[in-house]
Structure 1
Amino acid sequence: MDYGGTGEGSGGSGRGGHHDKKKRYHRHTALQIQILESTFKECPHPDEKTRMQLSRELDLAPRQIKFWFQNRRTQMKAHHERADNCALRVENDKIRCENIVIREALKNLVCPTCGGGPPIGEDCYFDEQKLRFENAQLKEELDRVSSIAAKYIGRPVLQLPPVQPFHMSTLDLSMASYASSRMPMMHGGPSLDLDLVTGSAVGSSSSNINLDHSMFQNPMVPLSDMDKSLMAGIATSAMEEFIRLVQNNEPLWLKTPKDAVETLNLESYKRVFPDRCDSFKNPNVRTEASRVSGVVTMNSLKLVDMFVDSIKWSELFPSIVSRARTIEVLSSGSLDSQSGYLQLMFEELQLLSPLVPTRQLYLLRFVQEIKQGLWAIVDVSYDLPQYNPYSHPRFKVRRLPSGCLIQDMPNGYSKVTWVEHMEVEDVTPINRLYRDFIYTGLAFGAKRWLACLQRACERTASLMTTSHDLGGVIPSSQGKRSMMKLSQRMMTNLCSSINPSNGHQWTSISGMSEFEVRAILYKSTDPGQPNGSVLSASTTIWLPISPQNVFDFFRDSRTRPQWDVLSNQNPVQEVANIAIGTHPGNCISVLRAYTPSQNNMLILQESSTDASGSLVAYCPVDLPAINIAMNGEDPSYIPLLPSGFIITTDGHHEMATKGGPSTATSDPTSDQATTSTGSLVTIIFQIQTNSLPSAKISQESLTTVNNLITNTVHQIKGSINASSTTT
């Protein structure tokens, strides 16, 4: 750097007739600059004695030393003025935007009860006075900042072009509780950069609407710019809370003695997040909050891509997500990645039983790349009363900041930490069979989400393996892929039949048997399904054996004649097997039943199990259709009408471990408290009833499906009891 041009040349002369010549400047050496800089840090205004000492030490004229310090002070002053100017402009823009938002909120204030103008009452009066007081403070602050900034830019800041509130960084929106808090360090590493949706990313991104309008009773109402700003602020706040939930351990999270699942310590949560205390004032609201970590066989980029696509999201979790739709994309993220992606979406969550109502949620989903190979995805509820035809009268549910932290591992796998946090208000009692299973948080908790994700990723990874056939029946990898695609469609069909779309309701036909059987008639949307209506009937029973034993009983071809009424107790042979996971029970099978009347009929079956439960789906398929799939051809139009079993723990043991009220004995409706472990088994049968889409449930169809379920239940219980007696 060149400081202290003296105009004296290298020898310090430069007087007299040399004024008409171009001045020569002295370039200091690196050592001279280093010594001058170190002296400047200690004393920016050296006295004459110090300048003389530097002159002798550096072999420079005293005047050069003086000029160098003058120039250095001028440069530092200019640097500080530029920095102060930028900071003041940002602060001023923030205050202006907050002022605009407050004025708009007062202007559009609507009474939530009657829909009229600003409500009149004591609370409203004080709220309005508070807003007016804050607005006056903002104006005073704005004037102060404007006067200070005017010294640096030569004009009042108020003359700057207006800044729209939805064009600024969401970190500057003080719309949520934790938007201004500073993020802690992650495991001793660098602090997390949460400048999530900046610049014009939210305001200028094109609205990408992808809706099934049959989901809504009212037409879509466009989101205003202020709505988008509020959503961005809420998403940012949710991301910060989620990161803190991931980072903190005890006492915020308490480990359960049985497994690696952690539950939220509500007292500690209230201290860490005091602004959430309003949620605990309603005694009827219960909290479901859990955290779990595990490894999945997929890298972070593929996972993020599946999470932001509502269709892929539904396919990834068919047993949990019955429906998902993207309402609007508020920010599409950065150009080279999904970081900063923000969307408003509708999601319906299910437990695979008609006895448990679905949970419908409007969510903001926010994606952020914390650093390379580390992604955070957070969901948080966002109330949209005008789009809420699915509000269930039996409960109210709200998802607090939840989601997953995905970290790449060297082998192409990912470590996933899942946090699930919900508040649920049950208006009517939960069905007695599922009471403990739901109260323990197993039904919709983090353990179930992660287990389903691991199973889905294992299934995808199995496409790359070569061990796929039994006896050389499936000749190629294309045949394996086609068979897996066919079986996946069968599984999805079975899961969607529990809670079909378009508002269908279950009809109880329990009077026809000693246990409750429910039926529903719906129009199948499966492309391979013939036109007409499908009757789906279901019941849930309790069995006094572990879920693993029940799963082994159903998937074993040797025990199939004991419960499959369609096989007429004839032996069944497995002719092909495709492994779709590390567990031996995760597989696709092709079975042949030795029935003289149906030599051309095979059974396609898929069984899958994980830490959250098990599922066995099966469907009769004729031999030519199986050959199409095995030869690698497109199986999309092969008709499927699957039936199956969903198996979960009853939750009694987990409830007793947590010290809660268990209701388990040989009869799950008993009030005696024990810790016996049993299983809940949901049995589903589907039959084609009529080629007319508008057909209604006939008594003949109800009798047929009821007899089918009743006989199956009797055979299952008889076989289980006989096996238990033998053991």
Structure 2
Amino acid sequence: MFQANMFEGHHMFDMASKSSENDSSKLKDDDYETKSGTETMEAQSGDDQDPSEQHPKKKRYHRHTQRQIQDMEAFFKECPHPDDKQRKELSRELGLEPLQVKFWFQNKRTQMKAQHERSENSILKAENERLRVENNRYKEALRNASCPNCGGPAALGEMSFDEQHLRIENVRLREEIDRISGIAAKYVGKPLSSLSNLSPHLPSRSLDLGVSNFGAQSGFVGEMFGATDLLRSVTGPTEADKSMIVEIAVAAMEELMRIAQAGEPLWIQGENNTEMLNEEEYLRTFTRGIGPKPLGMRSEASRESAVVIMNHVNLVEILMDANQWSTIFCGIVSRAMTLEVLSTGVAGNYNGALQVMTAEFQVPSPIVPTRENYFVRYCKQHTDGTWAVVDVSLDSLRPSLLSKCRRRPSGCLIQELPNGYSKVVWVEHIEVDDRSVQNIYRPLVNSGLAFGAKRWVGTLDRQCERLASSMAINIPSGDLCVITTAEGRKSMLKLAERMVMSFCTGVGASTAHAWTTLSATGSDDVRVMTRKSMDDPGRPPGIVLSAATSFWIPVQSKRMFDFLRDENHRSEWDILSNGGEVQEMAHIANGRDPGNCVSLLRVNSANSSQSNMLILQESCTDSTGSYVIYAPVDISAMNIVLSGGDPDYVALLPSGFAILPDGPGYGSAGILDVGSGGSLLTVAFQILVDSVPTAKLSLGSVATVNSLIKCTVERIKAAVMCDNA
């Protein structure tokens, strides 16, 4: 009975104000030039730098010529707001980029506005001085006033000692409330307005405050993860930043083109044919970077290339759309947002497109910290027809942003090939402080396989194959007969895509949500979080409890993947199938590797009194990692999907496994082979613990899911270690 009730609730979650007088006075009347250089810091680099002897940044700019300024000044008098056509003509005549012309005019308009504000400030300053003198005159008159009754000095507005004390105490209490509200808002997510009016008779904590209270109630370690969300605090660029952003993007594009195509001595051969970036040569070659490497950070650079089954136009569109980009790379990008589009491109495509973004990059495990970036993305089509998309961090424009990761020029070159194929060269160049990574994941992260170019290209190649499969018109003969139409096939693939994305966005350590550790007994701690599901038709309504754990196992990642995706082995680890026979009813291949497929499984219950259940499962693998993700589905809802109906209204709570190699290993021939050692396995479940969204989470539900996930882990270890012996 426990298994049946548990399954019904089974599994995983989706998860410029005006310038002040002082500021405007800094603008020189004759300083109308657009910055066209980049900021450089003249200081020692690397470990030789003494923090106590750091010098402030010295800005070095290349100014426009006098003729360029005079021509633009003359045009500004006639037309302060030129359109795209006029800017292009000016840029062609003056030998500038259209974006440089655009931001020169923006700066000019800003400076004209500043001049007007200075004039207004002068008038207001004079008026303020007049009022101050008048106010002093009134004060003097009041000071010399006498009481009309006794003729003595008047005591105006005198306040008793008690009243003074109460007012001081009131101010102190208000400051204390504001301080507590700020702390609560940071860790709980409540707005300050709702926390500043707390009742003195607070009810007991409900699920609104997450599960961090479990530690106080039941002895669990209430450690919270993901409590500080830097991305939510980042705003779009100011007008003053935009010209500098253009210069940074142009320099980054030039660097990406060179670093993506260079050979030795910039890229040198490491052990076993691995490619390494020569740091000394890089620093000598690229002097116009984003500044020296911050103390405490290490460099991580990688390059990878592949031929993928997608044309260059579609690839560029995916990369320049934050939603498509985060969907395709959902295992790497936990969330992304475009803060501002500075240019949409020209000629109806993304050539010249420029946008400021934030993104969070993850490894599918709750114990590996995410990497957050605030950056500009620039797309350009070069004269040889090659497209390039480059990212580079803008942390220098946000000194208050405490980022532990900085993107040096990173991105990809896309070359068009016949028959709808493209060649992609991907470069990832990061500076990161990853000292908080746990030991079992450190070899993987340090090798560059966790966040490097090989993982991006492997994911892209697999996703391109999946997209090509979803667009197939005819049903391949290998698909089982339960799928009778092409529309049904597409609907099933679309439902599986939503399931995979929901799993990936909820299994990592994203700062969008907070995990709580249930125990502190080792590296395989179980971590949980809760959420309310109410109005989303794609999720069952009620209280959902998510739980995940990551651990190392001395079994090759390919063997782990084959074991977990095989329906014949499912009864060995899946407690909720209750020992029933598992049969594959539908199968859709969506890649060259036979492990890349979507399946519909039926669990035939061993108990005749229990109804059979359906499970939607997608398994996918590439050279850097694998997933087996599944979710129970309602039989009637699945029949609608198989007939080509809308899959968005099918409620899913996905659970599953993320399988990563424990680092680069060596195969039997002594050749570097990813995953030839052990595996890093993340197990994640979602349980619907109550169908009423207003219900409170009981400790019994937490204990149940803790037992469920630990029992599953023990079964997996026992099964694969026995076979591996």
Distance change (3 Å), C-alpha of 1:354 and 1:514? closer
Query: Which one scores higher on RCO, CA 8 angstroms, separation ≥ 6?
Result: 2
| Whole-angstrom CA distance in 2 between matches of 1:475 and 1:635 | 16
Q: Residues 334 and 514 (structure 1 numbering): CA distance in 2 closer, same or farther, change over 3 Å? A: closer
Alignment of 1:578 onto 2:588 = yes
Q: CA deviation at 1:98?
A: 7.1
Distance 1:572 1:198, change over 3 A: same
Superimposed CA distance per residue, residues 190-230 of structure 1 (whole angstroms, 9 cap, x where no aligned partner): xxx9958465389789xxxxxxx997898886643331111
Matches within 5 A, 1:180-329: 197=99, 199-200=101-102, 223-256=237-270, 258=272, 262-276=275-289, 279-280=292-293, 282=295, 284-329=296-341
Q: CA deviation at 1:277?
A: 9.7
The answer on 1:359 being equivalent to 2:273 is no
1:383 Cα deviation after fit = 2.1
Instruction: Please name the residue that 1:520 is paired with.
Output: 529
Once residues 236 and 366 of structure 2 are traced to their aligned partners in structure 1, the CA distance between those partners, rounded to angstroms, is 35
Take 1:636 and 1:457, find their aligned partners in 2: how far apart are those partners?
Answer: 22
Query: Equivalent pairs: percent with the same residue?
Result: 42
**Residue 160 in structure 1 maps to residue 63 in structure 2:** no
Match of 1:412 among 405, 417, 420: 420
Q: Structure 1 residue 463: deviation in Å?
A: 2.2
Report the Cα distance in structure 2 between the residues aligned to 1:598 and 1:250, rounded to whole angstroms.
66
Could you tell me whether the CA contact under 8 Å between 2:363 and 2:508 is conserved in 1?
no
Cα distance in 1 between the residues matched to 2:105 and 2:702: 54
CA distance in structure 2 between the aligned counterparts of 1:254 and 1:122, rounded to whole angstroms:
32
Indicate which of 640, 649, 652 corresponds to 1:640.
Answer: 652
Q: 2-side partners of 1:161 and 1:612: how far apart?
A: 55
What is the CA–CA distance in structure 1 between the aligned matches of 2:374 and 2:397, rounded to whole Å? 10
Q: Letter of the aligned partner of 1:237 in structure 2? A: A
Per-residue deviation, 1:711 = 1.0
> What code does the residue aligned with 1:498 have?
V
Q: TM-score normalised to the size of structure 2?
A: 0.68
Compute the displacement of 1:688 (Å): 1.3
Query: Structure 1 residues 237 and 526 mapped into 2: Cα distance closer, same or farther (>3 Å)?
Result: farther
One-letter identity of the residue aligned with 1:481: K
- Asked if the contact 1:683–1:709 (Cα under 8 Å) also holds between the matched residues in 2, the reply is yes
Q: State the shift of 1:123 in Å.
A: 5.4
Correspondent of 2:552 among 534, 537, 542: 542
Larger Rg: 1
Pick closer, same or farther for the CA change 1:194–1:271 going to 2, 3 Å. Answer: farther
Answer whether contact 2:479 2:589 (CA < 8 A) is retained.
Answer: no
Letter in 2 for 1:621: V
Aligned counterpart, 1:531: 541
Partner of 2:409: 401
Q: Give deviations 1:301-357, integer Å, cap 9, x for gaps.
A: 001111111111111111011111110000010032110000001111111000011
The 1:401–1:574 alpha-carbon spacing in structure 2 relative to 1, beyond 3 Å, is same
Q: Are 2:369 and 2:509, in contact at CA under 8 Å, matched by a contact in 1? A: no
262 and 658 in structure 1: CA distance in 2 versus 1, 3 angstrom threshold: farther
**Equivalent residue letter for 1:273:** F
Q: 1:485 aligns with which of 484, 494, 516?
A: 494
Letter in 2 for 1:405: L
| Stretches of structure 1 lacking an aligned partner (at least 5 in a row) | 1-94, 107-120, 150-155, 174-192, 206-212, 661-674
Q: Secondary structure at the match of 1:510?
A: coil
The residue that corresponds to 2:710 in the other structure is 710
Residue 369 of structure 1 contacts residue 376 of structure 1 at CA under 8 Å; is this kept in 2?
A: yes
Work out whether 1:438 is the aligned partner of 2:445.
yes
Query: For residue 88 of structure 1, what is the aligned residue in structure 2?
Result: none
How many residues in Structure 1 have an aligned counterpart in Structure 2? 551
Q: SS at the partner of 2:677?
A: coil
Q: 1:665-709: CA deviations, max 9, x gaps?
A: xxxxxxxxxx97100000001111234556665311211111111
CA contact (8 A) 1:462 1:580 kept: yes
Deviation per residue, 1:241-274 (Å, 9 max, x gap): 0001012112211345556x63312122122124
Deviates more, 1:461-470 or 1:609-618: 461-470
TM norm structure 1? 0.68
Out of 610, 622, 629, the residue aligned to residue 641 of structure 2 is 629
Distance 1:558 1:567 in 2: 12
Match of 2:395 among 383, 386, 391: 383
Letter in 2 for 1:645: F
Q: Partner of 2:455 in structure 1? A: 448
CA contact (8 A) 2:613 2:632 kept: yes
**Which residue is 1:723 aligned to?**
723
Q: Deviations over 1:54-80 (max 9, x none)?
A: xxxxxxxxxxxxxxxxxxxxxxxxxxx
Q: Secondary structure at the match of 2:304?
A: strand
Counterpart for residue 180 of structure 2 = none
Matches of 2:232 and 2:645 in 1, distance apart?
Answer: 42
Distance 1:570 1:470 in 2: 24
TM-superposed deviation, 1:497? 1.4
Answer yes or no: is 1:563 the counterpart of 2:573: yes
Preserved CA contact (<8 Å) 1:324 1:346:
yes
Question: Please, which runs of 5 or more residues in structure 2 have no aligned partner?
Answer: 1-27, 40-52, 108-189, 192-228
User: Secondary structure of 2:665's partner?
Assistant: helix
Map residues 488-499 of structure 1 onto 2, 5 A cutoff. 488-499=497-508
**CA distance, structure 1, for counterparts of residue 446 and residue 32 of structure 2:** 45
Cα separation, partners in 2 of 1:649 and 1:480, compared to 1, 3 Å: same
Structure 1 residues 545 and 160: CA distance shift in structure 2, 3 A: same
Give secondary structure in 2 for the equivalent of 1:249.
coil
Shift of 1:512: 8.0
* 1:344 maps to amino acid: V
Distance 2:335 2:465 in 1: 23
Whether the 8 Å CA contact 1:348–1:358 is kept in 2: the answer is yes
| Deviation for aligned residue 1:581 | 0.7
Give the letter aligned to residue 409 of structure 2: P
Taking the aligned partners of 1:365 and 1:456, their CA distance within structure 2 comes to 22
Q: Deviations over 1:69-113 (max 9, x none)?
A: xxxxxxxxxxxxxxxxxxxxxxxxxx999764579x99xxxxxxx
For the residues of structure 1 that align with 2:456 and 2:54, how far apart are their CA atoms?
45
Counterpart contact for 2:555–2:721, Cα < 8 Å = no
Give the Å deviation of 1:531: 2.8
Equivalent pair of 2:253/2:409 in contact (CA under 8 Å): yes
For the residues of structure 2 that align with 1:376 and 1:194, how far apart are their CA atoms?
A: 20
Secondary structure in structure 2 of the residue aligned to 1:550? helix
> Are positions 1:678 and 2:647 aligned together?
no
Q: Which amino acid aligns with 1:702?
A: V
- Once residues 684 and 534 of structure 1 are traced to their aligned partners in structure 2, the CA distance between those partners, rounded to angstroms, is 13
Letter in 2 for 1:432: N
Shift of 1:519: 0.8
Does the Cα contact within 8 Å between 2:32 and 2:104 map onto a contact in 1? no
CA contact under 8 A between 2:360 and 2:373: conserved in structure 1? yes
Within-5 A mapping of 1:54-73 = none
User: 1:218 touches 1:387 (CA, 8 Å); kept in 2?
Assistant: no
CA distance in 1, matches of 2:104, 2:624: 38
Q: Which amino acid aligns with 1:488?
A: E
Quick check: 1:645–1:683 contact (8 Å CA) kept in 2?
yes
Instruction: Specify whether residues 553 and 467 from structure 1 end up closer, same or farther in structure 2 by C-alpha distance, changes over 3 A only.
Output: same
Aligned alpha-carbon RMSD (Å): 4.2
Secondary structure of 2:462's counterpart equals helix
CA contact (8 A) 1:592 1:601 kept: yes
